[in-house]
Structure formats: C-alpha cells, structure tokens
Amino acid sequence: MKQSQIILVGGGGHCKSCIDVIELENKYKIAGIIDLPALLGQKILGYEIIANDDDIANLAKKGHNFLITLGYMGGSSRRNELYKLIKRNGGELPSIISPFAHVSTHAKIGEGTIIMHNCILNTDAIIGNNCIINTKALIEHDTIVGNNCHISTDVNLNGNCKVDNNIFIGSAATIKNGVTICSNTVIGAGSLILKSILNEGQYYGNPVKMSSDEG
C-alpha cells in the first residue's frame, strides 16, 4: 500500500520525537520539513528542510498533509497561527498516533493532534485539534481536552476533567477528577491541581497556586 506524504512544520527537538512516531506508525512518508530560510537543505534525522513559513500557503493549496512539529516554545499562539494558515489554504492535518499508545476505540482525537509513545487515552476521552499528547500522558475516561493544547510527559489527567483551549500542562502534573481548567492557562511541571482553575494565568506548586508574576 502506497503511503501518503506528510510535511512537518518546525524542525526542533519536538520534530525529532514526532519523526519517530510517524516512522513507527508507518502510515505517512515524510516529504520534508519546513523551518527557517537559513536552514534550507539541511537534514533532520535524514529528512531535508525543503521550505520555510512563507511557502506554507502554496503547499497547502496543493492539498498536502501537514503536522505542526513546533513545540510549545513559551506559548501556544504560533502553533495556532500555523494551524489556521494551513486550514485556510486547504491543507490537511491528519492525527498521528503512536503504535505504542493505548487509545480506546471509544475515544475521539481531533485533526493535527499527535499521540506520543506510551500514552493512555481511556474510554470517551475527547482530544481537540492541533494538540500534543506527549510521552506517557494519561487521559482518563470522559475527560475533554480542547484545541491547541500541550499535555506534557507523564501528566495524569483524571476522569471527567475539562481542559479548555490553548493550555499547557507541564510534565508529571496531576489533575484530580472532575477539575476544569480554563483557556490560556499554564500549569507548571509537577503541580497538583485539586480544584478547578477558572481564571487564566500561570499556576505552579503542590497544591497549585497562581504565580506571583500573575498577581
């Protein structure tokens, strides 16, 4: 069976992890990577940087598949901008799922989302578009993750939670069942969230508190 081609957008460390997942899933052939103009012709794990951001619209108009492999980089806005640019110009953004992840047949995954190695998505979990569900993350039953979120390595997101849009949850954070986290929020690594967070900002600690930088 002939593999469909896919273009990766962003050539940093997260891109390398995505390449590993794509190779092992074996559904798509990587056609190349989009990165800075100065890096054109260089290779990442054997795949060439073939274009820069200015070329995305034209490539999308040709109906190519894309995966945004830009990491969090201190904010989610750039990933969101790239997603909208690709969609606006007719590009496709398939979901990518590691063969080493367990994804319930009753879970739902949005377009442009990647599920990394050793993740667990249990029954009736719903993941939105353009998300990173990173290595060993647990998304329990009936939990909803919105669009443009990064759930980092080894996060435990328990049942019946609601994570809104544009949220970053740092590595090894634990979120109690039934908790809601509002949009545009950052949860620091190792944090413990026992109550819903209804005001956007940056939260850290065990138990979690709003960062003093946020007032």
**Segment 6-52, tens digit of pLDDT:** 999 999 999 999 999 999 999 999 999 999 999 999 999 999 999 99
pLDDT along the chain (215 residues), means of 10: 88 96 97 96 97 96 95 78 96 98 98 98 98 98 97 98 97 98 96 97 93 60
The C-alpha atoms of residue 188 and residue 196 are separated, in whole angstroms, by: 15
119: amino acid identity, one letter: C
| pLDDT score recorded for residue 75 | 65
Which of 149, 214, 213, 163 is CA-nearest to residue 193?
A: 163
| pLDDT score recorded for residue 143 | 98
Helix (H) or strand (E) holding 87: helix 77-88
The C-alpha atoms of residue 109 and residue 129 are separated, in whole angstroms, by: 7
Q: Which domains does the chain have, with CATH numbers?
A: 4-88 (3.40.50.20), 97-204 (2.160.10.10)
Radius of gyration of the chain measured on its C-alpha atoms: 17
> Beta-carbon neighbour count of residue 30 at 10 Å?
21
CA distances from residue 9 to 52, 77, 189, 213, 215 in whole angstroms, order as listed: 9, 14, 26, 32, 35
Which of 108, 44, 100, 56 is CA-nearest to residue 82?
A: 56
The C-alpha atoms of residue 106 and residue 24 are separated, in whole angstroms, by: 23
| pLDDT score recorded for residue 27 | 96
| pLDDT score recorded for residue 77 | 86
